Amino acid sequence: MVAELRLDSAGGLRRAALVQDGVLTDLHIDRLDRPSLLGAVVRGRVVRLVAGLDAAFVEIGDRTPALLNASDVRPLRRDARIGQLLRAGQDVIVQVKADAHGGKGAVVSMDIALPGRFVVHTPSGAGIHLSKRLARGPERARLQIAMREALPPEGGWIVRAEAAGADPGLVAGEADALRAQWRDASPSNETVLIRPANAWERALVELSGRAPRIRAQGADTLASVRGWVASRAPDMEARLVPHKSPHPLFEEDDLEGAIRALLDPRVPLSDGGSLVIERTEAMTVVDVNGGERGNALATNLEACREIARQLRLRNVGGIVVVDFINVAGAAERERIELALSHAVSDDPAGTHVYGMTKLGLMEMTRARRGPALADLLPDPT
């Protein structure tokens, strides 16, 4: 499989796209005039406690105060109510877990997590915790021992699946960089202690392991990315190359067309079937339509793979309901549920499939991670 991570900045957008065998599989976009706060660590002030929500509203410099649930207050005191944990006017350091959307403020947490390619540093945590995606048995035990030697004892560490085959020296170097990031931020009197990662940086953290080559268009893009790579991922330096063609990077493989197609509610499937994806205020609804082949199960199984891809590319968050076609019996229902669960299993955003309702609608959720694509791109109409 030929894979490449492409980076550019054009039309007021900062973009990162992973292309595998000419097909767009992952996409990160920032609007330069309306940057996301996702992942930012900020100094806020509690403006109101709401006992009914068991939460506090925190002023973080955004238009609408952010929501801080009692379960996200640190240090965590189990069964304590919000009024026992915080007081109005109190200063708190929080991290943005979800951007403001639809008139609602951002969601924040005092449980800070600084992500890297191999590990996630939790300054208020303790110990080393291995990802559930990592192997079981002796291999897992060996990795646990290796990580104890590579990671410092301060704070907590979540070891990502990508660490399994990584050079321990790279893991240790990344851990030192994450610790320094937190140490440098802690004494600051600024409102934003740690700025949010931009689209290029998010893609490099999440996708670089799948991209043998990373191509950047424009001198400014290349210089910015090289600076990040030098400090955080020196092993990637040889993979980073400039885009030298006179034609725009995102015109190759008609990436621009593929991105525009993500604003269309109708998505064709290979057998003549299709998906119709409609976003409402409360949820996203996906309708699976049959194709010429007349094999409902085959269409539904193909739909599972495409649904997972579309949710990632469109950055859909919240509740998702899928109406599959002609599901016949419990065995077929279970097969579709397993196929959909497998298709979303490597989604960096937490995605959970809960099963079918009595009406035959598949229920699932996907964590909100920044604005949906439809909110970032101009309406083509």
**Predicted pLDDT of residue 380:** 55
**Do 285 and 317 share a domain, yes or no?**
yes
Structural domain contains residue 175: no
Query: Which of 91, 109, 127 is the last residue before a domain boundary?
Result: 109
Q: Is 70 left (phi over 0), alpha (psi -120 to 50) or beta?
A: alpha
**Predicted pLDDT of residue 151:** 94
**Predicted pLDDT of residue 188:** 66
**Do 266 and 352 share a domain, yes or no?**
yes
**Predicted pLDDT of residue 208:** 79
Q: In the chain, which stretches have pLDDT less than 50? A: none
What 3-state class would DSSP assign to 336?
helix
Query: Which of 50, 83, 109 is the last residue before a domain boundary?
Result: 109
**Do 29 and 77 share a domain, yes or no?**
no
Given the structure tokens 């539904």, which residue do they identify?
A: 300
Rounded Cα distance, 270 and 266, in Å: 13
Q: Please give the residue range of the domain that contains residue 73.
A: 41-109
Does residue 195 contact residue 42 with C-beta atoms inside 8 Å?
A: no
**Do 218 and 302 share a domain, yes or no?**
no
Return the closest-CA partner of residue 288 out of 299, 278, 298.
Answer: 299
Rounded Cα distance, 114 and 289, in Å: 42
One-letter-per-residue 3-state SS of 159-186: ECHHHHHCCHHHHHHHHHHHHHHHHHHC
**Do 213 and 274 share a domain, yes or no?**
no
Structural domain contains residue 307: yes
Structural domain contains residue 129: no
Tell me the CB-side half-sphere exposure of residue 187, using CA atoms within 13 A: 3
Q: Which residues have CB under 8 Å from 25's CB, separation 6+?
A: 18, 19, 309, 312, 313
**Do 22 and 89 share a domain, yes or no?**
no
Query: Which of 109, 125, 153 is the last residue before a domain boundary?
Result: 109
**Predicted pLDDT of residue 2:** 87
**Predicted pLDDT of residue 381:** 52
CATH classification of the domain holding 67: 2.40.50.140
Structural domain contains residue 30: yes
Does residue 57 contact residue 66 with C-beta atoms inside 8 Å?
A: yes
Q: Which residues have CB under 8 Å from 228's CB, separation 6+?
A: 200, 201, 204
Rounded Cα distance, 368 and 249, in Å: 29
CATH classification of the domain holding 354: 3.40.630
Number of independent structural domains in the chain: 3
Q: Which pair of tokens denotes residue 307?
A: 């649904």
**Do 31 and 46 share a domain, yes or no?**
no
**Do 46 and 96 share a domain, yes or no?**
yes
pTM beyond 0.85: yes
**Do 273 and 331 share a domain, yes or no?**
yes
**Do 292 and 342 share a domain, yes or no?**
yes
**Do 31 and 45 share a domain, yes or no?**
no
Structural domain contains residue 7: yes
DSSP one-letter code for 46? E
Structural domain contains residue 95: yes
Helix, strand, coil in percent for the chain, rounding step 5: 35, 30, 35
Q: Which pair of tokens denotes residue 128?
A: 């080393």
What 3-state class would DSSP assign to 113?
coil
Structural domain contains residue 210: yes
What phi, psi does 215 have (nearest 5°)? -115, 130
**Do 22 and 79 share a domain, yes or no?**
no
CATH classification of the domain holding 239: 3.30.420.60
What 3-state class would DSSP assign to 3?
strand
Structural domain contains residue 58: yes
* Counts of helices then strands in the chain (DSSP H, E): 9, 21
